[in-house]
Amino acid sequence: MSMIEGRIVKALSGYYYVQTEEGLVTCRARGKFRLDGTSPLVGDRVRLELSRDKTGSVREILPRRNWFIRPAVANIDRMVMVAAAVNPITDPFLIDRVSALAAFHDCDFLLCVNKTDMDPGDRLFEIYRASGIPVLRTSAETGEGMEELRGLLSGQTCAFTGNSGVGKTSILNRLDPTLMLRTGEVSESLGRGRHTTRHVELFALPFGGYIADTPGFGSFDVEQMESIRPAQLQHCFPEFAPRLGRCRFADCTHRKEPGCAVRGALEAGEIQPSRYDSYVRLWEQANRIKDWERKE
């Protein structure tokens, strides 16, 4: 018996598959994996006991950067949101909602304004560039932005999200043609329409790093806004940061209060109106949720 460290890259039918220096180790997901009430998730870095027959058993979950419920995955470094200014047009509110959620989970964010061969997406691009949010113009058609994207994803664990039809599959295909093949095989072996099973997998990227995905389903589920409290939202808009603590009232919600530094920045043209509007909309939504209704 020896103790080694590794990372859970797949959970399927009662087994965890852990990538270690010794190769891929299979661990049975038994009750005793529930250490201090926490179950190991795909993406977890773990310490495991390796037995002579090269199977393992998870002994310890190393500290997580973050974790998500649907899909159940831990340690996502970057959320990549794909948007488009044409066919379909992405609503900036959706982008702001996902980027706020990423910030809440201490996850880096990247916006890809895709289909630039059809529409350069200037308006979207400018809103996010001016807000200090990483944004890239991409085209799965011409390959624009693919080198930068590879550079940003290299060595990280990322998750892709965005409306259906914006080009997630096409971008991933362009980044790594074997990726779709691999995810396709998995969804085939699981059978169609069974993506609701708890299957999550980290797929290795050829340039280093992983992409987390639920096979056959191209988008990371980000319907988890209910966990953010109204007062936490202001910290999920990075461009608000230099203004926080400068409002007249310490508990300013930055909506209608006099002497609000965030509104001041908005009026001075230093905060994008659509970003501010999204903040107010998300604040009002969050404010309607009672604490006992929150998921975390």
* 42 to 3, 18, 154, 220, 277: CA distances (angstroms): 19, 9, 19, 14, 36
Cα separation of the two ends of the chain: 37
Task: Identify the DSSP state of 239.
Answer: G
Q: Which of 131, 157, 169, 234 binds ligand GDP (CB under 6 A)?
A: 169
Spatial neighbors of 65 by CB under 8 A, at least 6 apart, are 74, 75, 76, 77, 106, 107
State which of residues 254, 274, 278, 282 lies at the interface with Zn ion (CB under 5 A): 254
114 binds, among ligand GDP, Zn ion, none (CB under 5 to 8 A by kind): ligand GDP
- Beta-bridged to residue 12, according to DSSP, are 15
Using the rule CB under 6 A, is 115 a contact of ligand GDP? Answer: yes
Q: Is the CB of 44 or the CB of 201 nearer to ligand GDP?
A: 201
170 binds, among ligand GDP, Zn ion, none (CB under 5 to 8 A by kind): ligand GDP
Cβ–Cβ < 8 Å for 244, 234 = yes
Residues with Cβ within 8 Å of 183's Cβ and at least 6 positions away in sequence, in order, are: 201, 203, 213, 215, 216
By beta-carbon proximity to ligand GDP, the closer residue of 85 and 202 is: 85
Structure tokens at 9: 């890259």
196's CB contacts (< 8 A; 6+ apart) are none
Q: Partners of 58 in the beta sheet?
A: 48
* Shortest distance, position 90 Cβ to Zn ion, whole Å: 28
Residue pair 45/27 in contact (Cβ under 8 Å)? The answer is no
Outline where the chain has alpha helix (H).
92-104, 122-130, 146-153, 168-175, 177-190, 230-233, 261-267, 273-288
Does 56 contact ligand GDP by CB under 6 A?
A: no
Asked if residue 209 binds ligand GDP (CB under 6 A), the reply is no
Q: Which does 252 bind (CB under 5 to 8 A by kind): ligand GDP, Zn ion, none?
A: Zn ion
Nearest residue to ligand GDP, by Cβ distance, number only: 167
Pick the binder of ligand GDP from 49, 141, 148, 277 (CB under 6 A): 141
User: Which residues in the 241-270 window bind ligand GDP by CB under 6 A?
Assistant: none
* Token pair belonging to 159: 């998750």
Instruction: Between 13 and 164, name the residue whose CB sits nearer to ligand GDP.
Output: 164
Q: Which span sits near Zn ion by CB under 5 A: 21-29, 76-84, 109-117, 251-259? A: 251-259
What's the full length of the chain, in residues?
Answer: 296
Closest to ligand GDP by CB, 186 or 265: 186
- Answer for which of 179, 260, 271, 286 binds Zn ion (CB under 5 A) is 260
Footprint of ligand GDP on residues 210-229 (CB under 6 A)? 218
CA 256 vs CA 246, 248, 262, 264: distances in Å: 15, 12, 11, 11
Contact 229, 69 (CB under 8 A): no
Least CB distance to Zn ion at residue 231 (A): 12
Partner from ligand GDP, Zn ion, none binding residue 241, C-beta < 5-8 Å depending on class: none
Query: Measured from the CB atom, is 175 or 247 closer to Zn ion?
Result: 247
Q: Which residues of the shown chain bind ligand GDP in the complex (CB under 6 A)?
A: 114-115, 117-118, 139-141, 162, 164-170, 218
Q: Which residues of the shown chain bind Zn ion in the complex (CB under 5 A)?
A: 247, 252, 254, 260, 262
